[in-house]
Chain A
């Protein structure tokens, strides 16, 4: 215990010192760009005025886009806390409510710190096909000037903080798989490593410059992933499955009844997720234009039909549509529309949601029971399954009328998805899905082994029965006094 404490202190010092030194260099590079008017020999008042007006128009657009992107960043953070924290917190037994919420909240603190130091540059720095380089270590060069390769109208710092919110929620999603039985210390170590080994490379491959799967910046296998179907949901969902399999079942599962202690909390959480998802998907337009609107509409529509789909499947099988089923369905639909949001029209979104709602119900209610793994809060059944089906359906439904992604040599727009005539896109989607599955599975197994050998993954049986709130944090979520 003492040893690890000293280690943490030293590590913290080691990290803080260089940051302090770097800050000045970073600020020096944040000067706002003013494009120099080209070839002006003689003073020409008319031309000067035009240049000035052009600059003002550019500034106005930049302000509008920046306003939406900062709002979106805040919305995506809201998805983790309180959204996911409440959604997951309500689903566990009451002795684990704080520990479960704390696992999500911890990501807000831990990943923010690692993102600032090395996470961002590994994901979005200039680099190879698989991972970013170290040019933006300690956020060097990430300032007010836009990074035109990613988003030409917003400060690079806005882009960085927006992407950070994705990096926070992705590992938080995994915590659903090992809820109610993992040591807090092991969870924290696992997540730091996971961000480096799985998240940053996957984000780089799909969205980073020169990324292997990047559809807009010349990737070898252009995979359409608008807001993170592969990067966020497949990686977290598959890693969740691996965690559930590796760590084993909770004490008493599945013989003992373990119903959610408060579907009410989960309900509030799911509704916050739905609202936050507008930032997640419509924000992924990286601007406030019509593409953001289109993604917003698609997101909302898919959530609606997915809630209907899951609810109907439940109604049909159990005789009643449950509140938990409706909200789980909505989340599944939001997951599935994530890769497609900026590429499909509203009717396709309705279809994607409906398919995802029914499919994820089947994965959670039937497949999990058949194989008997204890994916406690169905992180795989919702995010892994929903992300995979969403990524494939994106290849089916993507339409160049919504978002012209591919151009031929002459600059003419080409078909995006299979229904439009580009069957080959299904193959590219499949490549993206397979890479995400393999990276997540292999990376997670290696990290789990490492953490298991050093810290140990599970709490003792006694601590598990006592509950993680008391055993890991020394407090209780609900403290009832006998009298006041």
Chain B
């Protein structure tokens, strides 16, 4: 099993959600996050005083998938979240050892 963590533009969340539903992904966890990669922050002015805000609000989508689904999901997210400009975000993949469904302690892919 693989964990997919996609940090995307907040404005692209709906598109990503729809694209994932279309390929049959059933569950996800969405978080509001702040951070920065290569995209620099923005400046704000309060009474002429300049503040640089370098942690930009982003949205993070987390999925845990059976390995066969991973490439399809990565494709779906990439296409849906892309604008082609700096700041589109990143997708991180990592191995997941096990999954436990709390309701009945079912384990492994069947619990996804």
A116-B47 Cα distance, complex, nearest whole Å: 38
Contact with A along B29-48 (1 / 0, CB 8 A): 00000000000000011111
Partner of B46, one of A260, A361, A366: A260
Q: Say whether A257 faces chain B, with CB atoms less than 8 Å apart.
A: yes
Q: B residues within 8 A CB of A328? A: 47
Flag if A365 contacts B44 (CB, 8 Å).
Answer: no
Flag if A365 contacts B51 (CB, 8 Å).
Answer: no
| Residues of A200-225 contacting chain B, CB below 8 A | none
Q: B residues within 8 A CB of A365? A: 47-49
A324-B52 Cα distance, complex, nearest whole Å: 17
Give the one of B45, B48, B52 with max A CB within 10 A.
B48
| Residues of A317-332 contacting chain B, CB below 8 A | 317-318, 320, 322, 324-325, 328
User: Which residue of chain A has the shortest Cβ distance to B50 in the bound complex?
Assistant: A318
Flag if B51 contacts A325 (CB, 8 Å).
Answer: no
- Distance to closest chain A CB from B75 (angstroms): 37
Q: B residues within 8 A CB of A260? A: 46
Q: Say whether A369 faces chain B, with CB atoms less than 8 Å apart.
A: yes
Flag if A325 contacts B47 (CB, 8 Å).
Answer: yes
Flag if B44 contacts A259 (CB, 8 Å).
Answer: yes
- Distance to closest chain B CB from A367 (angstroms): 10
User: Which residue of chain B has the shortest Cβ distance to A328 in the bound complex?
Assistant: B47
Q: Say whether A364 faces chain B, with CB atoms less than 8 Å apart.
A: yes
Flag if A318 contacts B46 (CB, 8 Å).
Answer: no
Chain B at the A interface: SS class: strand
Flag if A324 contacts B46 (CB, 8 Å).
Answer: yes
Partner of A257, one of B47, B48, B51: B51
Q: B residues within 8 A CB of A318? A: 45, 48
Q: B residues within 8 A CB of A65? A: none
Flag if B48 contacts A259 (CB, 8 Å).
Answer: no
Q: B residues within 8 A CB of A254? A: 49
| Residues of A241-283 contacting chain B, CB below 8 A | 254, 257, 259-260
- Distance to closest chain B CB from A404 (angstroms): 40
Q: Say whether A180 faces chain B, with CB atoms less than 8 Å apart.
A: no
| Residues of A367-400 contacting chain B, CB below 8 A | 369, 378
- Distance to closest chain B CB from A422 (angstroms): 36
A330-B46 Cα distance, complex, nearest whole Å: 16
Flag if B51 contacts A364 (CB, 8 Å).
Answer: no
- Distance to closest chain B CB from A121 (angstroms): 40
Q: A residues within 8 A CB of B44? A: 259
- Distance to closest chain A CB from B43 (angstroms): 9
Contact with B along A107-127 (1 / 0, CB 8 A): 000000000000000000000
- Distance to closest chain A CB from B24 (angstroms): 33
- Distance to closest chain B CB from A313 (angstroms): 9
- Distance to closest chain A CB from B15 (angstroms): 29
A365-B47 Cα distance, complex, nearest whole Å: 6
| Residues of B42-75 contacting chain A, CB below 8 A | 44-49, 51-53
Flag if A314 contacts B45 (CB, 8 Å).
Answer: yes
A423-B2 Cα distance, complex, nearest whole Å: 84
Q: B residues within 8 A CB of A378? A: 47
A254-B48 Cα distance, complex, nearest whole Å: 13
Partner of A369, one of B46, B49, B51, B52: B49
- Distance to closest chain B CB from A265 (angstroms): 14
Q: B residues within 8 A CB of A320? A: 45
A284-B44 Cα distance, complex, nearest whole Å: 39
A369-B50 Cα distance, complex, nearest whole Å: 11
A41-B82 Cα distance, complex, nearest whole Å: 102
- Distance to closest chain B CB from A369 (angstroms): 7
User: Which residue of chain B has the shortest Cβ distance to A254 in the bound complex?
Assistant: B49
A364-B46 Cα distance, complex, nearest whole Å: 10
Flag if A324 contacts B47 (CB, 8 Å).
Answer: yes
A317-B49 Cα distance, complex, nearest whole Å: 12
Give the one of B45, B47, B52, B53 with max A CB within 10 A.
B47
User: Which residue of chain A has the shortest Cβ distance to B48 in the bound complex?
Assistant: A365
| Residues of A325-364 contacting chain B, CB below 8 A | 325, 328, 361, 364
- Distance to closest chain B CB from A476 (angstroms): 23
- Distance to closest chain A CB from B83 (angstroms): 23
Partner of A361, one of B48, B49, B52: B48
- Distance to closest chain B CB from A308 (angstroms): 17
Flag if B47 contacts A259 (CB, 8 Å).
Answer: no
User: Which residue of chain A has the shortest Cβ distance to B44 in the bound complex?
Assistant: A259
A366-B47 Cα distance, complex, nearest whole Å: 10
A259-B44 Cα distance, complex, nearest whole Å: 9
A325-B47 Cα distance, complex, nearest whole Å: 6
A359-B89 Cα distance, complex, nearest whole Å: 44
A364-B17 Cα distance, complex, nearest whole Å: 47
A317-B47 Cα distance, complex, nearest whole Å: 11
Q: A residues within 8 A CB of B47? A: 324-325, 328, 364-365, 378
Which A-B residue pairs are the 3 nearest by beta carbons?
A: A365-B48, A257-B51, A318-B45
Q: Which residues of B come within 8 Å of A, CB atoms?
A: 44-49, 51-53
A-B contact pairs, 13 of them (CB 8 A): A257-B51, A259-B44, A260-B46, A314-B45, A314-B48, A317-B48, A318-B45, A322-B45, A325-B47, A364-B47, A365-B49, A366-B48, A369-B48
* Other A-B pairs, 8, CB within 8 Å; known A254-B49, A259-B44, A322-B45: A260-B46, A314-B48, A317-B48, A324-B47, A364-B47, A365-B49, A366-B48, A369-B48
